[in-house]
């Protein structure tokens, strides 16, 4: 009797797992440690980490192990664990913000395992010798802060915009290939949590638009995709912020009078949608600092 019951339970678990995987396309399953204490923790962890038809989280209260099943084309382990960390639960990859952890219900405040978040910094190696001697000079190695790695993406976006101003399809395609390389080089797990969440929302559509622009020399087609690319870049640039003011500008004429926006490092309007035909058409609608 007991043996039959166990077989039924195993079959039920397998059926449930198959059902979950059937709902989630491109399903990938991983098991990771997520710290917590009680049933309340389980509810929060599973609800926060799960997204309908994209990700499913099952957390075991006794072992503190979470089973992540997700669509590998739409999300990843890092994104799921960051969402969970943002509501107060540590994993071995991401620490919850101290203030969020401190606001958890008393029964949910698990024992935190001492971890040091990885932070990149500036390292200086200085010699003690005569600085007039070229063989004894200070060497400073600067490591770019995590949140600034998107600067290369923004810089290359501005190059695409400048190329469109010249109405040169070949130049625009080349600049867009450089932008695509910059996007592909972004290390998502090195981004700050809030920036990472924004990046995950826009990265796929950014890649799609950039690839379209890079694959053609037709300036009209390039400009069509530049409109949606600029919308996503606007969303993205407001998260980490650029090192200098950026101007969000608007052309009321493009797209049959529906208008279109773009980002610029200069307040003076130089329209990428019409180039020399209507170079100064448009206005600055927002200054992002």
Residue 124's pLDDT is: 33
Name the residue among 54, 55, 146, 51 with its Cα closest to residue 94: 146
pLDDT band per the 50, 70, 90 thresholds, residue 141: very low
For residue 55, report the phi and psi dihedrals to the nearest 5 degrees: -145, 145
pLDDT tens-digit series, residues 106-137: 899 999 875 544 333 333 333 333 433 433 33
pLDDT tens-digit series, residues 82-91: 899 989 999 9
pLDDT tens-digit series, residues 156-178: 999 999 999 999 999 999 999 99
For 59, left (φ over 0), alpha (ψ -120 to 50), or beta? Answer: beta
Which tops the pLDDT comparison, 6 or 153? 153
* Sequential DSSP letters for 59-106: EETTTTEEEEEEETTT--HHHHHHHHHHTT--BSS-PPPHHHHHTS-G
pLDDT band per the 50, 70, 90 thresholds, residue 243: confident
pLDDT band per the 50, 70, 90 thresholds, residue 234: very high
- Are residues 169 and 218 in contact, defined by beta-carbon separation less than 8 angstroms? yes
**Is residue 20 predicted with pLDDT exceeding 70?**
no
pLDDT band per the 50, 70, 90 thresholds, residue 68: very high
Output the average pLDDT for the chain: 83
Stretch 3-23: mean pLDDT: 52
């Amino acid at each position: 009797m007991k043996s039959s019951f166990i077989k039924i339970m195993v079959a039920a678990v397998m059926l449930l797992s198959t059902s979950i995987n059937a709902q989630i396309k491109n399903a990938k399953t991983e098991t990771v440690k997520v710290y917590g204490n009680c049933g309340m923790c389980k509810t929060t962890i599973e609800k926060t980490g799960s997204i309908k038809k994209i990700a499913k989280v099952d957390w075991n209260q006794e072992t503190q192990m979470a089973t992540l099943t997700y669509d590998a084309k739409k999300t990843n382990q890092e994104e799921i664990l960051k969402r969970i960390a943002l509501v107060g639960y540590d994993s071995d990859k991401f620490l919850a913000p101290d203030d969020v952890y401190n606001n958890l219900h008393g029964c949910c405040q698990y024992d935190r395992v001492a971890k040091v978040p990885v932070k990149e910094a500036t390292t200086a190696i200085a010699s003690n010798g005569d600085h007039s001697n070229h063989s004894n000079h200070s060497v400073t190695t600067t490591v770019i802060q995590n949140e600034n790695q998107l600067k290369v993406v923004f810089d290359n976006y501005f190059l695409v915009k400048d190329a469109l101003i010249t109405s040169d399809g070949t130049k625009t395609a080349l600049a867009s290939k450089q932008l695509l390389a910059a996007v592909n080089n972004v290390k998502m797990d090195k981004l700050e949590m809030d920036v990472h969440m924004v990046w995950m929302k826009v990265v796929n559509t950014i890649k799609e638009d950039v690839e379209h622009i890079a694959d053609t020399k037709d300036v009209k087609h390039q400009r069509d995709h530049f409109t949606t690319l600029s919308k996503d870049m606007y969303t993205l640039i407001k998260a980490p912020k650029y090192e200098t003011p950026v101007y969000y500008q608007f052309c009321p004429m493009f797209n049959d009078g529906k208008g279109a926006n773009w980002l610029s490092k200069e307040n003076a309007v130089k329209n990428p949608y019409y180039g020399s035909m209507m170079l100064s058409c448009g206005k600055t609608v927002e200054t992002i600092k």
